[in-house]
Amino acid sequence: MYFASDNSGPVHPQVLDALARANDGYQMAYGADTVMNDVRDKIRGLFEAPGAAVYLVATGTAANSLALATLSEPWQTIFCSPRSHIHEDECNAPEFYSGAKLTLVPGDEKMTPQALRQSIAGEETRGVHGPQRGPVSITQVTERGTIYSLDELRALCTVAKDYNLPVHLDGARFTNAMVALGCTPAEMTWKAGVDAVSFGGTKNGLMGVEAVVFFDESKAWEFELRRKRGAHLFSKHRYLSAQMDAYLTDDLWLTSARQANANCARLAEGLRAAGAHFLHEPQANMIFASFPRGVHKALHQAGAVYHLWGATLEGEDDEEMLACRLVCDWSISNEQIDVFLALL
Amino acid sequence: MYFASDNSGPVHPQVLDALARANDGYQMAYGADTVMNDVRDKIRGLFEAPGAAVYLVATGTAANSLALATLSEPWQTIFCSPRSHIHEDECNAPEFYSGAKLTLVPGDEKMTPQALRQSIAGEETRGVHGPQRGPVSITQVTERGTIYSLDELRALCTVAKDYNLPVHLDGARFTNAMVALGCTPAEMTWKAGVDAVSFGGTKNGLMGVEAVVFFDESKAWEFELRRKRGAHLFSKHRYLSAQMDAYLTDDLWLTSARQANANCARLAEGLRAAGAHFLHEPQANMIFASFPRGVHKALHQAGAVYHLWGATLEGEDDEEMLACRLVCDWSISNEQIDVFLALL
Amino acid sequence: MYFASDNSGPVHPQVLDALARANDGYQMAYGADTVMNDVRDKIRGLFEAPGAAVYLVATGTAANSLALATLSEPWQTIFCSPRSHIHEDECNAPEFYSGAKLTLVPGDEKMTPQALRQSIAGEETRGVHGPQRGPVSITQVTERGTIYSLDELRALCTVAKDYNLPVHLDGARFTNAMVALGCTPAEMTWKAGVDAVSFGGTKNGLMGVEAVVFFDESKAWEFELRRKRGAHLFSKHRYLSAQMDAYLTDDLWLTSARQANANCARLAEGLRAAGAHFLHEPQANMIFASFPRGVHKALHQAGAVYHLWGATLEGEDDEEMLACRLVCDWSISNEQIDVFLALL
Amino acid sequence: MYFASDNSGPVHPQVLDALARANDGYQMAYGADTVMNDVRDKIRGLFEAPGAAVYLVATGTAANSLALATLSEPWQTIFCSPRSHIHEDECNAPEFYSGAKLTLVPGDEKMTPQALRQSIAGEETRGVHGPQRGPVSITQVTERGTIYSLDELRALCTVAKDYNLPVHLDGARFTNAMVALGCTPAEMTWKAGVDAVSFGGTKNGLMGVEAVVFFDESKAWEFELRRKRGAHLFSKHRYLSAQMDAYLTDDLWLTSARQANANCARLAEGLRAAGAHFLHEPQANMIFASFPRGVHKALHQAGAVYHLWGATLEGEDDEEMLACRLVCDWSISNEQIDVFLALL
């Protein structure tokens, strides 16, 4: 009963197998391995973007920070949600890499086009004194488990384009969103107006690989230099390539994401039936729900692992509603979920 | 016949096995995995440093840059060899992370205590105008395949201590040096005066793991924040831990390094017998040697892979001596070496 | 009728005289001039802080950025008002110098202790993932012309001290606030809990000098290195010293600030009589007021110079109320004010 | 007898007069003052560069650092002399502003085209691993008081252009060099191949103003943002403008530089007659000479102020030759020089 995060489960067996297969003989280092050519081709194909620049790094924070640094200048500000990972969970890495600051677009889990437009307009009148407008960064799946519809994505990108600003998509849970929307990678990115995407794999069964994809190839060399300067270029790069290759083979990325979402739906259904309150409507593989402290205590005692959300287990009042975050990856079994639900 | 680099060979099978074993069930992310506790204990034990701060990152450039940033201030200069990896091969990453600049201590593959003292003294008289003296960074094995004796290490550290400067050891090939010297990890580090070490694993059979060890624990929290801010904290950290754990189990680190050095010795012996000229005396697992262009051509034609050094294969004069770099890791077979030598 | 800013008026004649007096013979450069000794002594005396570290720079942005960089670490966040100069008007300079980010404490022109405490507490639970808590920066006079009472200052500093955070005071209009409060420099700074202050002179009659004062001398050398590394150490430093010396001689700083505040009060009184609406209660030398477009048009036609505030003169509706900012320095004459008021 | 530096003498009276004249009424802040328009026009005219971008800052380190940052990228290296001010005397400011590192072109006071070409070529073969080639920075007058001929300048720029690299001229003593060469500003800059120049005023009679001139206007807006972000944009900018305007009026810049050079020549002639040894041939306003310790002692006792160069006055051997640096600005009188010489 481990719902703490989608980075605490095991790596998918097909990925381990791919690592073993990759472990044969000699390969050029630093991204010149032959598997990387396949990966590049596959990603370009899946995104219907034959000219895209495709790179691999090992952490989501690296993907986001390097992508944003490449899209921005150090005298700019990046527009994002106050709930975004780049603001709350990356210990100033985006600022370190880009030199830019972040402007928090008011709102909760999602940015609205109205709020975005108002934030961008608000940076308008100060000439050289204020920071200049920089990229817009959108998180899909949001950090609260909700999903922007394609219409919502397009509307946000339209606002950015009205001000001639590039758009970055933090897709740490890209595939979870995509299969939920039933759309193509292209529809969720460049067709909507996205310029660069952090295409996550780690939270969906890989050991530690994220792709960064630029639909405009002109930033490619700058990205390569930024990656090396950030110490994120792997010498034994073939083992990043092999993971991503396995991910995109036999629909592993899709089946894993579908399984994670299905696991989450099963859990959510049970919670709903048990009377839990949902802080946000779960649309991908994360649930933010509240139920009585007494139930939390019973779950913890039974060995369930997950994070309370702005609350602590300690307390007298067993009726008090406490919020928590529950995350499912592909590896959670129906049994685990059902045991958990039985304890509610 | 692949002598291009010790980062182009396969991962040791015991490491892959360890990854498979680690791939069981759930683990806390971001370094809170249980295997990391073992790794920390093992490294503290091997280094006879019970209070050492121990961290894992995935690239050697990250290890060096984060260690140096933690030991320095942005208005300082770091003393190193003009041949050091931090100067020549990290695309400004040490400067990016630390803000400091590098002072190149004149000399070739090794720093001498005299040259180091003169360089440090040379930064003396400019008060606030010049950069302030910062850490000394020593590369062991050097980038030219030679090894500092313990006396030489101690002498360099003594110079640093005379000026109250911390010492960093870039140990990308730490174990190759250690087994060649027949000394303990402690002797090659804190007993000699080293304050922090990049303890490499990637070039010696791991997939991508380097430990950073601080013998003074007081810098531990700063390092953790710098690692996260640099996007080098892995969520699925257990797979870094598992690699390092396998490395330190059943003497894998030692046997791999001994094998790499022995492979190199066999190759060097054959080269010497064939009349090759050595630019540096090979003491670990790297050879810098020159022999006629015609021989290089024959080797390339036969499929040998290695880097020419400041030279190009193209040219009329088949008698001209061309330098090359030949690197052996643990995986090179005697057969490969002997076929190579037979072509000389 | 020039109310655009307190940086658009002339330098006080006594300051020009002091520059002429300083222009005699030779002086050591880079802050080793003899006048700087007097300045340091005077500031230490006025602030009742015999051990204070005192430095001069030429711009307010340099004073703020260098002070904050010295008080913070690059993995921290600085707490400030969304209206603060460091956030809105310094083009990422504080971030550039410190590496830290800014956390905007919700509220309008002033921070409240409650909002500050909530913001600080909000950065609590993310360990290494979120930025760490850094300095609190308070602007006195605020960017909206209001003044923190000593009680308010103490309450904010108490919150900071509860979390062991240093406090910076952006005192670009320090003296305007001080004479309005009728307090001493010490009361408005270290006695209230302030650790470092940007003690402004430029907006109060100097050509371009701000002092940075640290009440804890231990940061002195770091500041000196940061100042030089930021290119803010003047070679002909005596001309900064001479300005600050004149400022603190014969109460020039006090009389100039009193005159500016009095000019502002006269203007505010007239505006109030004419029915203007005040966005903020003017307490120092700045007014944020609104009155009909038609009046603005008449004033502009008559040559009055000032900034409309989130509004444009163009428009049909002459009855529409438009906001503006009116700033008085010491040099504004009663005649200018009265001509302006007559046009209302 | 003050020969310590050309930043320790007084400001030229015409500059003080200009400040007094500028101190009249109100002016837009931040470079929008009317005098700046005149300055821009004058500099464009003098440099025969009608499209040049012209900016003022207050320190030479700011001029150099901001110019180099605008010409480079943070993954590049800047080629310069090991004697250059940007390397030895700016406490990492160029690295702080640009993110780039410095490559020291071997040689003494001047760079030779051969050494420059070799240094640039040496950064060739490392792809993404080493820093990329960035700007060449030339110091004219050199830090050793010598001057590049126009042929030498052109040859250096030709090397840079062969590699498509921009050229920066650190002209802290620009006019001293120009009047010595008897050339025009254009000949010493863009006609030779220079892309941006730090056009110094402070060492030649101003209080603290340097112009930065880009001959390609396309970098203008980036420079403005970098200047503000570096906290080097002055609010009361008119007082920078007024200094530079006075400098360029009635040939003040030329007459001051000629006087400084003539003072230096008179001093050098006397030293030569007295048997002093010259470390470098004095060609502008600086002398590096050695003479016996006993003479230094006598001079110091008589109140002469100057810096010994790599030597200390203390010592028994009064016959020992000690080097020193002697700098003349426009303000040094013949009497001072002759009294000094009489003591030799």
Please spell the DSSP secondary structure of D106-153, one letter per residue: SSSSS--HHHHHHHHHHT-TTTTSSPEEEEEEEESS-TTS----HHHH
Q: Could you tell me how many residues make up chain C?
A: 344
Mean pLDDT across D120-138: 89
Q: Give the nearest partner residue to B59 out of A2, A97, A234, using CB atoms.
A: A234
C130 touching chain A per CB within 8 A: yes
Tell me what the pLDDT averaged over chain B comes to: 96
pLDDT at D125: 67
If you classify domain B253-342 with CATH, what class do you get? alpha beta
Mean pLDDT across B216-239: 97
Query: B211: which strand partners?
Result: B56, B199
Task: Judge contact between B284 and B173, C-beta under 8 A.
Answer: yes
Spans of chain C, pLDDT less than 70: 123-125
Dihedral (C-alpha) D152, D153, D159, D161: value to the nearest 10 degrees? -150
∠ Cα A237 A239 A244 (to 5°)? 100
Q: Which of A195, A201, A132, A191 has the alpha carbon at shortest distance from A171?
A: A201
CA distance A116 to chain C (A): 17
| Interstrand relation of C76-80 and C132-139 (parallel, antiparallel or unpaired) | parallel
Burial of C259 (0-12, 13-18, 19+ CB in 10 A): buried
User: Which residues 78-107 in chain B show a CB within 8 A of chain A?
Assistant: 90-93, 96-97
pLDDT at C126: 82
CA distance C308 to chain A (A): 12
A320 alpha carbon, distance to own chain's centre: 32
| Interstrand relation of D196-200 and D167-171 (parallel, antiparallel or unpaired) | parallel
C280 alpha carbon, distance to own chain's centre: 17
pLDDT at C113: 98
Tell me what the pLDDT averaged over chain D comes to: 96
**Burial track A112-150 (b if 16+ CB lie within 10 A, e otherwise):** bbebbbebbeebeeeebebbbbbbbbbbbbbbbbbbbee
Q: Which residues contact B326 (CB under 8 A, 6 or more apart)?
A: B3, B264, B267, B286, B287, B288, B289, B306
* Topology of the domain comprising C13-251: Aspartate Aminotransferase; domain 2 (3.40.640)
Q: What's the rounded Cα separation, in Å, for the pair D216 and C110?
A: 45
Handedness of CA B328, A30, A65, A152 (dihedral sign): negative
pLDDT at D252: 98
Beta strand extents in chain A (DSSP E only): 53-57, 76-80, 101-104, 132-139, 167-171, 196-200, 210-214, 277-278, 286-292, 307-308, 321-327
Report how far apart, in Å, the C-alpha atoms of C244 and of each of A195, B60, C200, D12, D240 are: 51, 51, 10, 21, 18
Q: Which of D159, B287, A130 has the alpha carbon at shortest distance from C85?
A: A130
Query: A292: which strand partners?
Result: A321
Handedness of CA D121, D125, D130, D132 (dihedral sign): positive
Task: Judge contact between A26 and A48, C-beta under 8 A.
Answer: no
Q: Which residues contact B193 (CB under 8 A, 6 or more apart)?
A: B153, B154, B156, B157, B158, B160, B161, B167
Mean pLDDT across A247-270: 98
Across the interface, do B28 and A4 touch by the CB < 8 Å criterion?
yes
Residue type, B284: A
Token couple for C104: 């905007």
Q: What residue spans define the domains of chain C? A: 13-251, 253-342
D67 alpha carbon, distance to own chain's centre: 13
Element spanning D168, H or E? strand D167-171
Dihedral (C-alpha) A296, A298, A299, A303: value to the nearest 10 degrees? 130
Chains touching D (3+ CB pairs < 8 Å): A, B, C
How sure is the predictor about A43, in pLDDT bands with cuts at 50, 70 and 90? very high
Report how far apart, in Å, the C-alpha atoms of D49 and of each of B306, D41, D342 are: 52, 10, 47
pLDDT at B14: 98
User: Which residues 2-31 in chain D show a CB within 8 A of chain C?
Assistant: 2, 4-5, 7-11, 13, 16, 19-20, 23-29
Token couple for C285: 């030398």
Residues of C in contact with D2 (CB under 8 A): 25-26
Residues of B in contact with A225 (CB under 8 A): 91
SS3 call for D307: strand
Least confident window among A125-129, A283-287, B156-160, D181-185:
A125-129
How sure is the predictor about A304, in pLDDT bands with cuts at 50, 70 and 90? very high
Q: What's the rounded Cα separation, in Å, for the pair A232 and C292?
A: 59
Q: Does the model's pTM come out above 0.90?
A: yes
Element spanning D292, H or E? strand D286-292
**Burial track D279-296 (b if 16+ CB lie within 10 A, e otherwise):** bbebbbbbbbbbbbbebb
Tell me what the pLDDT averaged over chain A comes to: 96
pLDDT at B1: 85
CA distance D312 to chain B (A): 12
Token couple for A204: 């969906």
ipTM above 0.90, yes or no: yes
Mean pLDDT across D2-24: 96
How sure is the predictor about B285, in pLDDT bands with cuts at 50, 70 and 90? very high
Mean pLDDT across B316-337: 96
D230 touching chain A per CB within 8 A: no
Q: Which residues contact A288 (CB under 8 A, 6 or more apart)?
A: A144, A145, A278, A279, A280, A282, A309, A323, A324, A325
User: Which residues 170-229 in chain B show a CB within 8 A of chain A?
Assistant: 202-203, 207-208, 225, 228-229
Q: What's the rounded Cα separation, in Å, for the pair D35 and C120?
A: 47
**Burial track C103-141 (b if 16+ CB lie within 10 A, e otherwise):** bbbeeebbbbbebbbebbeebeeeebebbbbbbbbbbbb
pLDDT digits (tens, 9 = 90+) for C224-277: 999 999 999 999 999 999 999 999 999 999 999 999 999 999 999 999 999 999
pLDDT at D124: 60
Task: Judge contact between A235 and A85, C-beta under 8 A.
Answer: no
- Where would I find the H helices in chain C? 13-22, 34-46, 60-71, 85-88, 93-98, 113-122, 150-162, 174-181, 185-188, 220-229, 238-247, 252-273, 293-301, 334-342
CA distance D112 to chain C (A): 29
pLDDT at A125: 67
∠ Cα D267 D268 D271 (to 5°)? 90
Mean pLDDT across D95-124: 93
Across the interface, do D230 and C230 touch by the CB < 8 Å criterion?
yes
Mean pLDDT across B290-316: 94
CA distance A97 to chain B (A): 8
* Topology of the domain comprising A13-250: Aspartate Aminotransferase; domain 2 (3.40.640)
